[in-house]
Amino acid sequence: MSVIELGALGEFIGAFAIVVSLLYVGFQLRQNTRSVNAEMIQSQVDKTNQLAAMVIEQPLLLEAIIRARGGEELSAEQASRGRYSVTLTFASHLSRWT
């Protein structure tokens, strides 16, 4: 083999190595994106569970929610609790979109 042929072989091997490394980086990027999305979804599930636990553990808030769903009039305190609950729910889900 001449020096020119060895140079051409070296170029071919180098180009092949670059293609392989780009494919590897693309695969890693896709894997990382999936991992980040899974973490984000898990975070939202955790927040939703925390809010549900808050409603279950707070009988006054639960009563306000039941009355509001039934179309009954709420006291000022119950309405305030309801607004606070809605604000917390909105704020916790807003982070998903920012």
How does pLDDT run across 22-46, given as a tens digit for each residue? Answer: 999 999 999 999 999 999 888 888 8
Q: Confirm if 21 and 39 have CB atoms less than 8 A apart.
A: no
Nearest-5° Cα angle at 52, 50 to 57: 90
Q: Dihedral sign, CA of 41, 45, 51, 54?
A: negative
CA-nearest of 88, 93, 92, 85 to 62 is: 85
Amino acid 98: pLDDT: 56
Q: Which pLDDT band holds residue 96 (cuts at 50, 70, 90)?
A: low
Q: What does the pLDDT look like over 42-63, one tens digit per residue?
A: 888 888 888 788 778 877 777 8
Q: Where are the domains of the chain?
A: 3-94
What is d(CA 62, CA 82) in angstroms, rounded to the nearest whole number? 9
